[in-house]
A and B are shown apart, each in its own frame.
Chain A
Amino acid sequence: MSQLDKKPRLRVATTSLAGCFGCHMSFLDIDEHLFELARLVEFDRSPLTDIKECGPCDIGLIEGGVCNAENVHVLRAFRANCKTLVAVGACAINGGLPAQRNHLELEACLREVYEHREGMDAPGVPNDPELPLLLDKVHPIHEIVRVDYFIPGCPPSGETIWKFLSDLIAGRTPRLSHELLRFD
């Protein structure tokens, strides 16, 4: 085997921003392909590895939209480190469920939850510097950074994610057939 044939394993990072981890669960649904995937790639930052900071990677998979300052930092770090950045699922692409707050005033929303409810010991919007501040609107990730690919679905099926990843890893431009391309 020549040096050229020995492909280094691709590095993959994944994260969930304003998401529900449903897309990650769907990712695990690729079942036996996980073994195949483990031979082809190694994971950088991901809930699977518990690595906290994203290093240089080939592929970054982002679940969820951008709802707060921390999401912005994580997303920017992924963009800076990943050669290919992929928006996975409805929330990353459109803002999804969390974006339902977009037609409400942020202030009204926070006060309703933290001040105006009955039976609260110490009402008040939390202001600890440790907590990331909320953006006034939830944004899809392509409104914050450049995104290379989009996989729709809520969540995309395991089969869809596998098809997409295996294309990407093999060097083919990912192409989802009509049955795999769905938005629900």
Chain B
Amino acid sequence: MPHIAQAAESVITKHGRDATRLLQILIDLQQALGYLPPAGISAVAAGLDLPRARVEGVAGFYSFLHLEPVGEYRILFSDNITDRMLGSLELRDALCRKLWVEQGKLSEDGLISIDVTSCTGMCDQGPAMLVNGLPITRVDHQRINEIAELVRTRVPLSAWPRAFFHVDDNIRRRDALLGQSFVSGSAIEAAIRLGRDQWIDEMRASRLRGRGGAGFTTCVKWEACRDAPGSDKVVVCNADEGEPGTFKDRVLLTRCADRVFEGMVLAAWATGANRGFMYLRGEYAYLRPALEAELARMRAAGLLGRTILGEAGFDFDIEIHLGAGAYVCGEESALIESLEGKRGTPRIRPPFPVTHGYLGRPTVVNNVETLTKTTLIALGGGAAFAATGTAQSTGTKLLSVSGDCAFPGIYEYPFGVRIDRVLEDCGAGDAHMVQVGGASGVTIAGYEFSRSIAFEDVPSAGAFMVFDSSRDPFDVAHNFVDFFTHESCGFCTPCRIGTSLLKGYMDKLARGYGAKKDLADIEWINRLLRNTSHCGLGSTAPNPVVDTLAKFRPAYERRLRTLDFEPAFDLDAALAAARRITGRDDPAAHLDSGDKQHTEGER
């Protein structure tokens, strides 16, 4: 295996033997070898002087890193509920049949493996898939046939029709941000003219809050980082947009990468940071070349690097780090762990990243949209920014609209927009449920469509999934529970076990073995998850179930077989093997179902 050791050595050298770059090293090594063989793990461990278990532990954590061989063509169907509603499961089965391969298994000739993955952020143009990491949108049966043929004839991915990989931006409504033309460098120039302190004043006046979901006031974060002791501060752009149903950051990174990066420079100007990272989710790796080109252009224009725009002492540069398929890395402290080359396990807080973040340095982590919005504030001033939106939610919000509507895509509204307004604009005539804020967000029923998107009412990280009356709210919640079970990082017991238990109950109900007792147990597990989980993943995992149980309870109740208790399996069928072996079929060789037993009990 000298070529494995060689490949490992060259990747390690490229990354300067830096153990904090372990995740990037493993991603590059897998790119070279197809997967991460044991010899590769050992070589990396030896090359970085790390325990082998540490390296394998990291490799085993991320969904997109493989310790077993995968197909030459590795196809992953996006498994968000919106993809399913567009027929993704049927298409997956069709492709599996055509290529004679079972889902999750490698074909015997090593040619192909087909599986599902969490939402890939293409909900407005689904069903979507990733082929060797590249997104293919609008998959239909014709495309499946063509893909099967391309795989069978071993056509290299670079020779596949370009149209397959076309990703639309689908911007449907523009407001302050998307409606404004932007001259690169103008925001940085304006902020430098203001001076660091007055720039912070403008940010304070804007009352900008984080767009990633939690809604923390951006200026408070920046000031805390600025005031924290330590000179080597860090600005991180969180581009790990993993929340199912959210794709606004993808569009911002495609359409206005200059503004995103400029927002990072503005954060550096305010905090005094000199190092920047963009943590880009693995699903968006296809955007990297364009982003790197943008960074190079900005460096050439003096907008990055030493003495930015001639301002002495203003040094800041940005590096892109890739994620590898872990939703939990969207949580800021897990993201920082991942940036340091570790498993994405959320940290215990406090201390908060603003004082002890990347490698213990003061670190600001901001969402893509938040950073983009700061360019508006630099150009137009904080007061003008605060003039739109609502009292506690200033400015505009990008919504990623998908599901049962005529015009899915990106809609920018001032905060405070009513849900029924959005539904009208996106052509959702028959909506009976909306999932706002993604899987961990809020389920909105028809009687609440007059509510508004704002931190005061319905907060949102950006997802807006519409479901019409033909959809079953139970299936929606079931899909989200599967998602959380898969994405739980496994660090804390309540979340690791709790999400699995919850999935067990949802599966039981889905198979038709539901009982009233299950609903009580589900509510108990929901409470456990909410109150005892280590991080937000576990505490928000039960949200879709809690909400649909409250607002769409009949969707659960119609799945109940009895009002008391029901086993999750057929007891009589569990005796079938023993009947066959012994050749018995007497009455004692059978068990009645729970139904009969309960009716007798009631008598």
Contacts and interface: CB of A to CB of B under 8 A. Distances in A.
Interface of A: 69, 72, 76, 80, 105-107, 110-111, 125-127, 129, 132-137, 139, 143-146
Given A133-B584, A133-B589, A106 B578 contact: yes
A129 B581 contact: no
A76 B565 contact: no
B497 to A, nearest CB: 13
Contact of B589 (A80, A126, A129): A129
Contact of B578 (A72, A80, A134, A139): A134
Interface of B is mostly: helix
B524 to A, nearest CB: 13
B588 interface: yes
A137 B570 CA distance: 12
Contacts of B591: 69, 72
A133 B587 CA distance: 11
Given A107-B577, A137-B574, A143-B567, A132 B582 contact: no
A31 B567 CA distance: 37
Given A80-B601, A143-B567, A135 B575 contact: yes
13 contacts: A69-B589, A69-B591, A76-B597, A106-B577, A106-B578, A106-B581, A129-B586, A132-B588, A133-B578, A133-B588, A135-B571, A143-B568, A146-B565
B517 interface: yes
Contacts of A127: 582-584
B574 A144 contact: no
Contacts of A69: 575, 588-591
Nearest to A106: B577
Most buried by A among B569, B578, B591: B578
Most buried by A among B565, B580, B583: B565
A125 B564 CA distance: 37
Contacts of B564: 146
Interface residues of B, number: 25
A144 B582 contact: no
Given A69-B589, A72-B591, A111-B581, 9 more contacts: A129-B588, A133-B582, A133-B588, A135-B574, A136-B574, A136-B575, A136-B578, A137-B574, A143-B567
B576 interface: yes
Nearest to B515: A146
Most buried by B among A107, A126, A133: A133
A144 B569 CA distance: 9
A134 B582 CA distance: 10
Contacts of B577: 105-107, 136
Interface in B544-603: 564-565, 567-569, 571, 574-584, 586, 588-591, 597, 601
A125 B581 contact: yes
A126 B589 CA distance: 13
Contacts of A76: 597
A91 B247 CA distance: 48
Nearest to B587: A129
A133 B589 CA distance: 6
Contact of A125 (B571, B582, B589, B601): B582
A84 B163 CA distance: 65
